Amino acid sequence: MLCSVMAVCPNATEPLTTASNIQRTIDPIIALDPEPAYTLPPTPYTLAHYPPPPKPDYPNFMPATADKLRLSAIAPGLVQSEIRAMSVECERMGGINLAQGVCDTGVPSPVMQRAIEAIEQGYNIYTRADGIAPLRVAIADKLSRYNGLAADPDTEILVASGATAGFYAACMALFNPGDEVILFEPFYGYHLNTLAALRVKATAVSMAAPNWTIDFDALRAAVTPRTRGIVINSPSNPCGKVFSRAELQVIADLALQHDLFVLTDEIYEYFLYDGAEHISLATLPGMAERTITISGLSKTFSITGWRIGYLAADERWMPAIAYFHDLIYVCAPSPFQHACTAGFLQLDASFYAALATEYQVKRDMLCSALADAGMTPSIPPGAYYVLADATPIPGANAREKARNLLRSTGVAAVAGTAFFAEERGENLLRFCFAKRDEDLQRACAALRAR
């Protein structure tokens, strides 16, 4: 069944009302065999970071004017993420990195072994734009069993270069410059910056600590005639909120009322504590055709550097989403697709239950140390991050507090302002507990000794 929201080609006046129309438009381009993209210099914030090239030694050389050599309109406002900045500083100092969700715990044996085998067997070339068939079938099976969501592996599933790539491609396919999309605050900075990079206006709706409750009146008031979508991250980075069925139903009703897309980032869906339940919004009545369900294996299999994610969407939207993913990322790494297929097939329910149990112990370990250090934590029911009160840490703002904590304890955290708009979050720090036990124990001891 087609959704009532139409995908519109930005350079045409006629809506692309069928998947076949979209497919005819993009098939000739997807069929090309793209060359690998060049690697850009790291973090090109301003031209001042790079020395000017030498002037050519020939007559009549005319240097380019400064008016033409400039960054795009949005580039000056997009700086290196505070998460990466703290990770770099932590590495420089030889500290314990609780800033970035690198998830440096062990990779499951079937996943690791199959990756090695796949490389040795020659699975090192491009795959189909939407991923290898065995992995798409395994994802469809997982979505059916765990999420209660039916998706056709041939037309409604895309293997992406990480969940973030799936999110970026979906936003490119569905939103136009000037559109508005609602985020719940505190939010994951990548969601905000992706929308900004596409000239889409993000509207933040604040959730109230410590349980991060939603003000639904504020949510309804945030919808304008230009609103095209809502982003939900559950379980949430950075606060660990797990959206309840009742909360999701209100959001679903609002999306149906205003004809909105909903993009759900469910990457932490297996990291649930104290009996919390994960619910995929797409399973609510009327929501499958308008929901883009995004997840991945980076966190679950501890392979954040492998970049394997996936999304499920109605077949009406998938050709355009797959096209933009192919345009930017080409395909997810081939041998790692085979490795993740093995993980889906060989790891049973006991693996995922043990994962939640293991991480709840880590959560409790870190929250106890933060409380002992006078930094009251907001106990998360999901994901693997903790937002803690940074009031006792010296510093004029959250960035200073994070750096002072790193200097005094050797433990890196992230300024709370990285997850809030309008300078909110100045008295919060985010800590990640997806660490090996020995590293987490050292961090906890250092925090207690502060």
Among the residue ranges 26-35, 102-111, 319-328, the one predicted with the least confidence is 26-35
What is the structure's pLDDT at 78?
Answer: 64
Q: Is the pLDDT of residue 10 over 50?
A: no
Comparing CA positions, the residue from 159, 217, 214 lying closest to residue 184 is 214
Q: Is the pLDDT of residue 222 over 50?
A: yes
Separation between Cα atoms, residue 342 and residue 203, nearest integer Å: 40
Q: Which residue has the tokens 């796949």?
A: 118
- Second CATH level (architecture) for the domain 110-346: 3-Layer(aba) Sandwich (3.40)
- As annotated, the residues of the chain forming the CATH 3.40.640.10 domain(s) are 110-346
What is the structure's pLDDT at 329?
Answer: 96
Alpha carbon 95 to its chain centroid, in Å, reads: 25
What is the structure's pLDDT at 12?
Answer: 38
Confidence of residue 55 (pLDDT cuts 50, 70, 90): low
Separation between Cα atoms, residue 208 and residue 191, nearest integer Å: 20
Mean pLDDT of the chain: 87
What is the structure's pLDDT at 266?
Answer: 98
User: Are residues 370 and 447 in contact, defined by beta-carbon separation less than 8 angstroms?
Assistant: yes
What is the structure's pLDDT at 39?
Answer: 37
Separation between Cα atoms, residue 253 and residue 302, nearest integer Å: 35
Confidence of residue 30 (pLDDT cuts 50, 70, 90): very low
For the stretch 156-209, pLDDT in tens is: 999 999 999 999 999 999 999 999 999 999 999 999 999 999 999 999 999 999
Comparing CA positions, the residue from 233, 228, 254 lying closest to residue 173 is 228
- Quick check: bond before 34 cis, omega within 30? no
Among the residue ranges 32-46, 63-77, 315-329, 433-447, the one predicted with the least confidence is 32-46
Q: In 10 A of CB 417, how many CB atoms?
A: 20
What is the structure's pLDDT at 74?
Answer: 83
Separation between Cα atoms, residue 105 and residue 87, nearest integer Å: 17
What is the structure's pLDDT at 37?
Answer: 37
* Rg (the chain; Cα; Å): 23
- Using alpha carbons only, what angle is made at residue 366 by residues 357 and 297, rounded to the nearest 5 degrees? 50
DSSP strands (E only) in 260-322:
261-265, 291-296, 309-312
Separation between Cα atoms, residue 403 and residue 410, nearest integer Å: 10
For the stretch 412-440, pLDDT in tens is: 999 999 999 987 999 999 999 999 999 99
Q: Is the pLDDT of residue 210 over 80?
A: yes
Look up the CATH number of domain 82-107+350-448.
3.90.1150.10
What is the structure's pLDDT at 16?
Answer: 36
Comparing CA positions, the residue from 8, 375, 336 lying closest to residue 161 is 336
- Quick check: bond before 186 cis, omega within 30? yes
Q: In 10 A of CB 6, how many CB atoms?
A: 12
DSSP letters, 64-116, are PPTTTS---SSGGG----HHHHHHHHHHHHT-EE-SS----SPPPHHHHHHHH
- As annotated, the residues of the chain forming the CATH 3.90.1150.10 domain(s) are 82-107+350-448
For the stretch 106-149, pLDDT in tens is: 899 999 999 999 999 999 999 999 999 999 999 999 999 999 99
User: Are residues 249 and 284 in contact, defined by beta-carbon separation less than 8 angstroms?
Assistant: yes
Structure token digits, residue 245:
């069925």
Confidence of residue 68 (pLDDT cuts 50, 70, 90): confident
What is the structure's pLDDT at 384?
Answer: 97
Confidence of residue 102 (pLDDT cuts 50, 70, 90): confident
What is the structure's pLDDT at 4?
Answer: 37
What is the structure's pLDDT at 56?
Answer: 55
What is the structure's pLDDT at 429?
Answer: 97
Q: Is the pLDDT of residue 101 over 80?
A: no
Comparing CA positions, the residue from 278, 265, 296, 274 lying closest to residue 367 is 274
User: Are residues 262 and 287 in contact, defined by beta-carbon separation less than 8 angstroms?
Assistant: yes
Confidence of residue 3 (pLDDT cuts 50, 70, 90): very low
Q: What phi and psi values does residue 59 have, to the nearest 5 degrees?
A: -65, 155
Separation between Cα atoms, residue 154 and residue 131, nearest integer Å: 10
Give the predicted TM-score (pTM) of the model: 0.83
- The residue-averaged pLDDT of 359-373 equals 98
User: Are residues 187 and 419 in contact, defined by beta-carbon separation less than 8 angstroms?
Assistant: yes
Helical packing angle, 318-329 and 19-30, nearest 10°:
20
